[in-house]
């Protein structure tokens, strides 16, 4: 079977998490910063390390079969690729931002203004959808300093913590798009058995990330109360303890509900709660 190629960012914000995801999928490869391509020793796959901007086109054109890249880059390059899996990292928003001087107060105030961005394609569509005509100034980096230099009246840039906007005296002024890293492939190739196998591995890693394994002790008489609180993979595993009145309950809990679930479990008498990370969940 033909060896697959997956393109990931060579260095930058998505590199570490992309490598970690592939390693957690059980793929064994060297992550040398100097190499552009790294063979996987235990799966028919090669990893291409690229600038993120090139990844969508490489996948669309078939140079790579798969890629991991931010949705913002996919939209900006206007490629036609299949979204195989949202990956939940690299989260950010493409936002409009303005100087805090009160000159712009509503979206229509951007008419006739200059907006600096590295995302002219996305911004142009957003402005057209909102019937705004502005002068888009494309800048490849340090967009946030352009209002201060008098180069623009507003900016449109990626924001995660908001710290960069704040330190440049800018305030967020509306979301253009939300973005996160996504695993992409070529359209029509989704049934390739190697891609299917890899997708199963990716999904089992993501599922495990979203859950914790929990073991707790409870008096047998409180077991029903606890069962109704738990929505594990199937019904929880119940193991008798040496003391006949007590049992140990093993289950998984969704990370997002974790703290509220733990207090509910304690409220119905759970004791000795042990929480462990899960490596993979294969359904």
Residues near Zn ion, by CB under 5 A:
52-53
Nearer to Zn ion, 117 or 211 (CB): 117
Q: How far is the CB of 161 from ligand PRT (least distance, A)?
A: 3
Residue 160 interacting partner from ligand PRT, Zn ion, none (CB closer than 5 to 8 Å by kind): ligand PRT
* Spatial distance between the Cα atoms of 218 and 35, rounded to a whole number of angstroms: 54
Tokens found for residue 279: 């490596």
The residue of the chain with the least Cβ separation from ligand PRT equals 70
Q: Are 79 and 59 in contact (CB under 8 A)?
A: yes
Closer to ligand PRT by CB, 15 or 264: give it.
15
* Least gap, CB of 61 to ligand PRT (angstroms): 18
For residue 99, give every residue at least 6 positions away whose Cβ sits within 8 Å of its Cβ, in sequence order, or none: 147, 148, 153, 154, 169, 170, 171
Smallest distance from Zn ion to CB 276, Å: 38
Of residues 45 and 73, the one with the C-beta less far from ligand PRT: 73
Residue (53 or 109) nearer to Zn ion, CB: 53
Q: How far is the CB of 214 from ligand PRT (least distance, A)?
A: 31
Nearer to ligand PRT, 76 or 192 (CB): 76
* Residues at the contact surface with ligand PRT, assessed by CB under 6 A: 9, 12-14, 51-53, 70, 72-73, 90, 92, 157-164, 179
């Amino acid at each position: 079977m033909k060896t697959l190629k997956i393109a990931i960012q060579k260095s930058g914000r998505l590199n570490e998490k992309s490598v970690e995801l592939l390693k957690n999928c059980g793929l064994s490869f060297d992550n040398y910063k100097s190499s552009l391509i790294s063979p996987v020793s235990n799966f028919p796959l090669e990893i291409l390390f690229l600038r993120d901007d090139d990844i969508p086109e490489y996948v669309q054109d078939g140079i790579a079969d798969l890629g991991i890249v931010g949705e913002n880059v996919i939209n900006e390059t206007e490629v036609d690729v299949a979204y195989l899996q949202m990956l939940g990292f690299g989260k950010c928003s493409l936002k409009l931002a303005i100087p805090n001087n009160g000159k712009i107060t509503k979206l229509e105030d951007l008419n006739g203004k200059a907006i600096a961005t590295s995302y002219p394609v996305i911004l142009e569509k957003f402005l057209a959808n909102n019937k705004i005509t502005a002068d888009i100034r494309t800048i490849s980096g340090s967009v946030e300093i352009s209002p201060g230099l008098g180069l623009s009246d507003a900016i449109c840039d990626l924001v995660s913590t908001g710290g960069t906007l704040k330190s440049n005296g800018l305030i967020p002024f509306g979301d253009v798009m939300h973005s996160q890293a996504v695993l992409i492939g070529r359209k029509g190739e989704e049934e390739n058995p190697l891609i299917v196998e890899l997708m199963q591995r990716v999904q089992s890693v993501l599922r495990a990330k979203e859950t914790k394994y929990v073991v707790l002790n409870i008096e047998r008489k409180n077991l029903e109360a606890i069962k109704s609180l738990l929505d594990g993979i199937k019904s929880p595993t119940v193991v008798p303890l040496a003391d006949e009145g007590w049992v140990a309950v093993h289950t998984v809990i969704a990370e997002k509900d974790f703290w509220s679930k733990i207090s509910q479990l304690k409220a119905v008498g759970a004791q000795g709660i042990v929480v462990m990370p899960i490596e993979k969940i294969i359904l």
